[in-house]
Amino acid sequence: MRFLTVAFILLAVMLAGAGEALVSESLVLVGPISREAIATLERDWPLSIDDYDGSFATCYTFQEKLELLDSMPWGCTVLVEDLQAHYAEQRAMDFAGDKDEPWTSFHTYAETMTLLETWANDNSSIAKIVDVGTSVEGRHLRCIVISDNVATEEYEPEVRVIGTIHGNEEIANEVVLYLAERLLTDYGTDSAVTEMVDGMEIWLQPLVNPDGYVASRRSNNNSVDLNRNLSYHWNGSDYEPHPFSQPETKALADYSGGDEQYVPDNVEDNTFVLGLTHHSGAVCLNYVWNYQYTDAADKAHVWHNLCQDYSDGCEDSSYYSNLDGGYDNYGDGYQWYDYMDAICEGAEWYPTHGDVNDWSYGERGCLDTTVELSDGQGGGFPEGDIIDFCDANYYGQMAYLEYADDGLHGTVKDGAGVPVLCTITVDSRTEAFMYNDPTVIGDYWLPLDDGTYDVTFSADGYTPQTFEDVVVTGDTTTPIDVVFSQSGVGDLTISAHQTSDGVLLSWETSAEFIAYNIYRDNGRGNSVGERLNQFRLDGGAACYLDARPHAPVSRYRIEAITPDGHREVYGPAEVRLDGEATELLVGLYPNPVVSELTLELNSGGSDCRVTLYDLSGRLVDNLYSGSLSEGRHSLSFDLASRPAGVYLLRVESGSVSENRRVVITR
């Protein structure tokens, strides 16, 4: 019986996300509907808005959800019931290009992966492949990184360009591929390209949603719209379990420096200064915010100009002039809406929650822009136009990305030369930003228009530093290197060492403190991290044992409280854990859990056991027992029949074990 249970769990694990027949997507027209109602439409109904003209919204849904929409208080007309069948017909019609010539038909998934690999192999000094994860169906999530000295972290801005995140938006893949090819082939001969490759690190991911691309579906193979699945102001829709529930969005956030509950840490971190996210279905450029109507701090002085540069770059091309207009000037063949510009804030068009732009800017300080390239979706783009179209957008992409090193830059470190994460305030505006490579160089790149600014650098535990009348002159701006010294009423020095029981933190101070709190982060965030001690440590304390340090890096700060209640933050002290301490349990979600709990673990290649205890230490369930091959595994358990409460989950593999608190709610 035990064997059968284990076999069943293994089977369930293997089948998760694979094998089920995909329900076709449908396109519906909802309306008339007000702007107020649009704001919560995606939260309350199984819809993903693709377009809104001020009274009617074009939305994606699924065939099986159509019946649900009958009860909506607005009109709902089915435009296309079976989109995948419609796309197949569309493809068979008159759009097919000449398959024998390059760039005259869409690259397949396999061709895209092979091209990237070939390009990286043929240009190994300036290009490398980074596989950032695998899709629901196990396809590669593949980036090509282009930079001189591509294997080395350098003092240079990092930028990100991504393509097809909605699988039916094929042209988005092509424009990213084409940009990669131009950067590689024109390096050394074209000065703009050479300057960019030498002076930046460019990450290109043409296919964010390869499964959707292969199936010609907007969503991924779990029927989730990936561009609603990131965490920043995610709207808690009933139709998705939690933000970053999908491997495709986890991978994107992982290499983009995401430091969150649901994001793994498998790939090197980047702090992208600028980003481009390509879509199709309309022709416009959108900057943040998408979730709210309030202007972003960077909107007026930087972002609009950046988008204008993209638009102007495209318009220089014959392709756009033949269209009688570009992104900001529509010709007869293209309708646009009276109340807005084609370069606008995303929410001004229609609000969404959990998209790539908002997360990139709100969480990581990256000016990431949506480029809606063309009306064509699902094979509806004329393949014969691919090359001209990519070429036109190439000039837009270059004009936009060139801005990454225009503005203020430098390094921020503490007295010991360790990079420090901080916030920059420019005049009265607050910019959140992160470093490109906080563990190595600590450089920052803040796009700013030419001008004179007062700039303040602030970081937890340090005295803020203000630089007045800083002159910004494009890419010739003089760098400002900041060295922070600790603030406070007295010194407190921390040391941290790895021991067999965990990390032992000890500290010395000559000041009088009445209590301490200990904080830990994984070396990447910009906050003080997670508080470890449940109750304040007494003023007489001088050490603390962290029994569950974060691998591979644990960084500690101590908050010390003075007799008059003032708080001072000291640190950080960082420990790099050696291989022995590699974390076994790398993911546990959702927690609190209602029914299905998923564990992600790094098996050392030995017998593994997962057990559940109640808080009095009694064993209540053997969830799993078996042997797992070396590497990453995902196990799911149904806890729906367990009473609500707090439990202790124990995972053992070889000689390593870990305990985590799990809360079951009903």
Which residues here bind Zn ion, judged by CB under 5 A? 166, 169, 279
**DSSP state, 302?**
I
CB 310 within 8 A of CB 397: yes
C-beta of 169: minimal distance to Zn ion in Å? 5
| CB nearer to Zn ion: pick between 169 and 170 | 169
| CB nearer to Zn ion: pick between 279 and 409 | 279
| CB nearer to Zn ion: pick between 279 and 524 | 279
C-beta of 175: minimal distance to Zn ion in Å? 13
C-beta of 377: minimal distance to Zn ion in Å? 8
CA angle, 253 then 254 then 259, to 5°:
85
CB 656 within 8 A of CB 585: no
| CB nearer to Zn ion: pick between 284 and 518 | 284
C-beta of 168: minimal distance to Zn ion in Å? 8
C-beta of 209: minimal distance to Zn ion in Å? 10
| CB nearer to Zn ion: pick between 389 and 445 | 389
CB 367 within 8 A of CB 82: no
Alpha-carbon gap, residue 174 to 191, rounded angstroms: 23
CB 587 within 8 A of CB 598: yes
Tokens of 395: 């000039």
| CB nearer to Zn ion: pick between 38 and 649 | 38
C-beta of 227: minimal distance to Zn ion in Å? 6
| CB nearer to Zn ion: pick between 166 and 550 | 166
Give Cα separations from 525 to 111, 432, 435 (angstroms): 37, 12, 10
C-beta of 279: minimal distance to Zn ion in Å? 3
Residue whose Cβ sits closest to Zn ion:
279
C-beta of 370: minimal distance to Zn ion in Å? 8
Residues near 83 by beta carbon (within 8 Å), at least 6 away in sequence: 24, 25, 26, 27, 60, 168, 217, 378
Give Cα separations from 513 to 461, 493, 518, 536, 545 (angstroms): 15, 13, 14, 12, 20
Cβ count within 10 A of residue 11: 10
| CB nearer to Zn ion: pick between 154 and 169 | 169
Q: Hey, which residues does 26 pair with through a beta bridge?
A: 61
Alpha-carbon gap, residue 589 to 242, rounded angstroms: 9
C-beta of 213: minimal distance to Zn ion in Å? 12
Alpha-carbon gap, residue 285 to 277, rounded angstroms: 10
C-beta of 582: minimal distance to Zn ion in Å? 38
| CB nearer to Zn ion: pick between 173 and 271 | 173
Alpha-carbon gap, residue 415 to 273, rounded angstroms: 26
For the CA atoms of the chain, what is the radius of gyration? 26
C-beta of 59: minimal distance to Zn ion in Å? 13
| CB nearer to Zn ion: pick between 279 and 550 | 279
C-beta of 351: minimal distance to Zn ion in Å? 15
Closest CA to 530 of 560, 554, 566: 554
CB 545 within 8 A of CB 555: no
**What is the four-CA torsion angle of 377, 381, 386, 389, rounded to 10 degrees?**
-80
| CB nearer to Zn ion: pick between 79 and 543 | 79
C-beta of 177: minimal distance to Zn ion in Å? 17
| CB nearer to Zn ion: pick between 372 and 402 | 372
Tokens of 432: 């959140």
C-beta of 78: minimal distance to Zn ion in Å? 20
Alpha-carbon gap, residue 233 to 656, rounded angstroms: 37
| CB nearer to Zn ion: pick between 166 and 520 | 166
C-beta of 121: minimal distance to Zn ion in Å? 31
Residues near 167 by beta carbon (within 8 Å), at least 6 away in sequence: 209, 210, 211, 212, 213, 214, 215, 216, 217, 218, 219, 220
| CB nearer to Zn ion: pick between 168 and 653 | 168
Residue positions counted in the chain: 666
| CB nearer to Zn ion: pick between 352 and 554 | 352
Closest CA to 314 of 371, 376, 236: 371
Closest CA to 182 of 398, 424, 477: 398
Closest CA to 529 of 268, 269, 260: 260
| CB nearer to Zn ion: pick between 38 and 551 | 38
Residue 643 CA, chain-centre distance (Å), reads 35
Which residue has 């900057």 as its token pair? 287
CB 4 within 8 A of CB 10: no
Tokens of 546: 């962290």
Q: Is residue 192 classed as helix, strand or coil in its secondary structure?
A: helix
C-beta of 166: minimal distance to Zn ion in Å? 3
Residue 377: Cβ-neighbour burial (10 angstroms; 0-12, 13-18, 19+): buried
C-beta of 182: minimal distance to Zn ion in Å? 23
Closest CA to 343 of 320, 315, 311: 311
Alpha-carbon gap, residue 61 to 63, rounded angstroms: 7
Tokens of 216: 């010609």
| CB nearer to Zn ion: pick between 86 and 166 | 166
